[in-house]
Amino acid sequence: MKRLLPAGQASEDQAAEDAELVDRFRAGDMRAFDMLLQRYENRVFNFTLRMLGDYQNSREVTQDIFLRAFRYLGNYRGDGKFSTWLFTIASSTCKNALAYYRIREKYKQHTAQDPEQTTEFDPVAVLPDITNAPERKLEQNAMSELLTQAIKDLPETYRKVIVLKDVNDFSYEEIAEIAGVPIGTVKSRIARARLLLREKLTQLGCLEPGR
Amino acid sequence: MDCHQAREQLNAYLDGELGEFETRQVAAHVESCQSCRHELEAYRGTRDIIRRFGPAPSPPHLAESIRIVMEKERLIPRRGRISSTISQARFPRVNRLALAATFLLAMLAGGSWFVYDNAGKFLAGKQQAKISSRAAVAEKAQKLTLENAGNAAAPPETLSMELAKAPLSSPDSGMDEDSDDSSETRRARAVSQATRSARETMALARGSAPRPAPPAAPRAAARRGFAATDSLDILVAESPSEGRASGGGPGALPAHGSGGSALAKPFTEAKAMLRELEYGGAPEGIAWNISDRFAPSPAISASRAMGADEAAPGATARSPVRMKSAAADKGVKADDKQTKPPALNIILKARSGQPHAQQQAILKQLKPHLDSGAAQIQNGKLILKMPADETLVILRTINEQQTGAASVPVPEKMLKNEIAKPEPRIVNTEIIFVSDDSAPATAVPAADSE
């Protein structure tokens, strides 16, 4: 498992390396984007996984995020950090994806209520079962499953900030930039998200009551 | 700091997002307040759970799948071709384009050469077939002419030289593909063929021995300049009176046989020698029909006969290609006078403001007759050898084709008288085109009847 960058190490050095890679990519070096991809692949995937709560969808959305990043990297002005810019794209992409999946879920529920529609071909039903796949081993962990469910149940605004903080280890200032909200809002949302998450985990039996 | 203020800052304190002063204040409060300390531990526990179980390993080959999608959408070049910095540095985009353009040009050039080469071979074969058939017809016509003259023992040079005459302006050029035979032309050709067939039948009834046709394909090859044979034999025949002495003159050919000259040289050398002979005072009218464009690789055997009678037998056997010599022609004419067949000779002068255009128009009109050998172009003259009725039709047709100042006089009365005879003679018509406007137009010149 790739280790996420520890807290505080998204430092100026890393930002400088990112900026250098971005410059090389703009100069036509495709390998620079490869390096950026390797550097942020896991972080972006974890963000989408916790935001969407679905492994397969997260994989597709992660691909979409990097495709968008590739397309729009020429417009990146370099004012802020590349990571912040990338996760801004990831945030908006996840937001769109959540809206899309929400609509699709409603449609599926609607069609499932129609008895004539139930016999029709369902591409989701024929997808391979990945529950025993190696990448699902961690999700088989009970705590991970419960955490995923708990985070998924959070409102999107709280979910975003708590994932960016505790999963992706961004600072409040960076989260404020990504979410496009003041830093005080970030602070309060994080506090509220942790409170809600603690309640949820307590309900799920992950935490002892009173802790 | 009270508990309410401290609890607002607990998460920021936990995450290390507070300033130094605030951090000290919160730390002091938490140290003294058990409830806030308990609250802080609860937040810490939640955060630790997220940090511990939150990050998941990314799917295997996620980056690879992203690259594949980008390649499919042509956002990045396919790997294995140009994906690394090194390969891009070695072959930048401009160089790759230049390389591709060079390759394309090379392919085009190769293809063009292939097409050109094969087209040349194809046309050579086509022309050989056409000229071969044309030569056969011409041979037949010549045979009939000689038979009509009642002279079966005509010297072979007459025939061979007539056949070897190169057109002043090749009727093949730009006209082989023309199939726009007018009704007049078709009628004239039909009359010509019918008359010829009848005369051929008469000749066969007389028992005249057919003369073997000279090989036509090598002649066509020489006329076209293609290397169709392993060797080309060139006969330069001169009359004894006008021919230069053996060994005399700047480019005289070496002596060969009894009174003849011959050489066996590479093509270029032979050609240079013949050119020297031509420019060095060769008899007027020699038309060297050698093209070095498709120069044949083998040597050329050129022979010069000092006398037409001497050169002919041997030359006929080994000379598939003959070069026209005006001097030899004169010699032949001298011989012809002794055995001249009964013929009507007409010389016409036609005025033309545009000789070339007129010539082209006439050539187009006379293409069937030129193909059959009944019409020839020699030294700027159009020579027709055919019955009077055909001659009349052709002259009328030619005259109809003329526009503007150009015109050809038609001696209709003379031709009609000849047609009316029980045994009409062959009419030898020689049409001379005069481009000078001051020349007498439409003058019907001397028409001598023999």
Query: Is A45 close to B59, i.e. CB distance below 8 A?
Result: yes
B51: which 2 tokens?
A: 């940090």
Contacts of A197 in chain B (CB under 8 A): 46, 50
Q: On the CB side of B4, how many CA atoms lie within 13 Å of its CA?
A: 0
- Specify whether A152 is located in the same domain as A130: no
Q: At a CB cut-off of 8 Å and minimum separation 6, what does B205 contact?
A: none
The minimal CB distance from B66 to the residues A49, A50, A63 is found for A63
Task: Give how far A143 is from chain B: nearest CA, Å.
Answer: 7
Query: How many angstroms separate the CA atoms of B297 and A193, rounded?
Result: 97
Q: Which of B38, B58, B87 to mutate to test the interface with A (most CBs of A within 10 A)?
A: B58
* DSSP for residue A37: H
Q: Is residue A60 part of a domain?
A: yes
Q: Select from A134, A161, A181 the last residue of a domain.
A: A134
Task: Give how far A116 is from chain B: nearest CA, Å.
Answer: 36
Q: CB-based burial of residue A98 (10 Å sphere; 0-12 exposed, 13-18 middle, 19+ buried)?
A: middle
Residue B361 in 3-state DSSP?
helix
Q: Is residue A192 part of a domain?
A: yes
Residue closest to A102 by CA, chosen among A41, A39, A171, A152: A152
Quick one: pLDDT band at residue A27, thresholds 50, 70, 90? Answer: confident
Query: Is B49 close to A143, i.e. CB distance below 8 A?
Result: yes
Largest CA distance in chain B: 153
Q: Is residue A156 part of a domain?
A: yes
Query: Is A59 close to B65, i.e. CB distance below 8 A?
Result: yes
Contacts of B43 in chain A (CB under 8 A): 191, 194, 198
Give the model's pLDDT for residue A186.
92
- What is the sign of the dihedral through the CA atoms of A16, A19, A25 and A26? negative
Q: Which domain holds residue A169?
A: 138-211
In this predicted complex, what is the ipTM?
A: 0.77
- Specify whether A153 is located in the same domain as A73: no
Residue closest to B447 by CA, chosen among B378, B366, B388, B403: B388
Query: Is B62 close to A139, i.e. CB distance below 8 A?
Result: no
Residue closest to B326 by CA, chosen among B286, B280, B378: B286
Q: Is residue A77 part of a domain?
A: yes
β-sheet bridge partners, residue B119: none
Query: Is A151 close to B67, i.e. CB distance below 8 A?
Result: no
Q: Is residue A150 part of a domain?
A: yes
Alpha helices in A73-155 (DSSP H): 82-113, 115-118, 137-140, 142-153
B7: closest chain A residue by CA: A191
Asked whether A80 and A113 are in contact (CB, 8 A), the reply is no
Q: Select from A108, A134, A160 the last residue of a domain.
A: A134
Q: pTM higher than 0.95, yes or no?
A: no
Tell me the average pLDDT of chain A: 79
- Specify whether A188 is located in the same domain as A104: no
The minimal CB distance from A194 to the residues B16, B47, B70 is found for B47
Least confident of B72-86, B278-292, B303-317, B337-351: B303-317
Query: Is B53 close to A37, i.e. CB distance below 8 A?
Result: no
Residue B341 in 3-state DSSP?
coil
Sheet of B426-434, strand order: B375-378, B381-387, B426-434, B343-351, B447-449
Query: What are the pLDDT digits (tens) for B24-53?
Result: 989 999 889 888 888 888 888 888 888 888
Q: Select from A134, A152, A186 the last residue of a domain.
A: A134
- What is the sign of the dihedral through the CA atoms of B324, B326, B327 and B328? positive
- What is the sign of the dihedral through the CA atoms of B268, B272, B274 and B278? positive
- Specify whether A148 is located in the same domain as A169: yes
- Specify whether A42 is located in the same domain as A124: yes
Instruction: Give chain A's domain count.
Output: 2
Contacts of B75 in chain A (CB under 8 A): 67, 70-71
- Specify whether A125 is located in the same domain as A170: no
- Specify whether A37 is located in the same domain as A119: yes
CATH assignment at residue A202:
1.10.10.10
Give the model's pLDDT for residue B347.
72
Query: What are the pLDDT digits (tens) for B90-102?
Result: 445 556 778 888 8
Query: What are the pLDDT digits (tens) for B389-434?
Result: 888 887 777 766 655 444 677 777 788 888 888 877 788 888 776 6
Query: Is B45 close to A66, i.e. CB distance below 8 A?
Result: no
Query: What are the pLDDT digits (tens) for B156-205?
Result: 333 333 333 333 333 443 344 444 445 555 555 655 555 555 455 445 54
CATH assignment at residue A87:
1.10.1740.10
Q: Which of A68, A190, A192, A206 to mutate to test the interface with B (most CBs of B within 10 A)?
A: A190
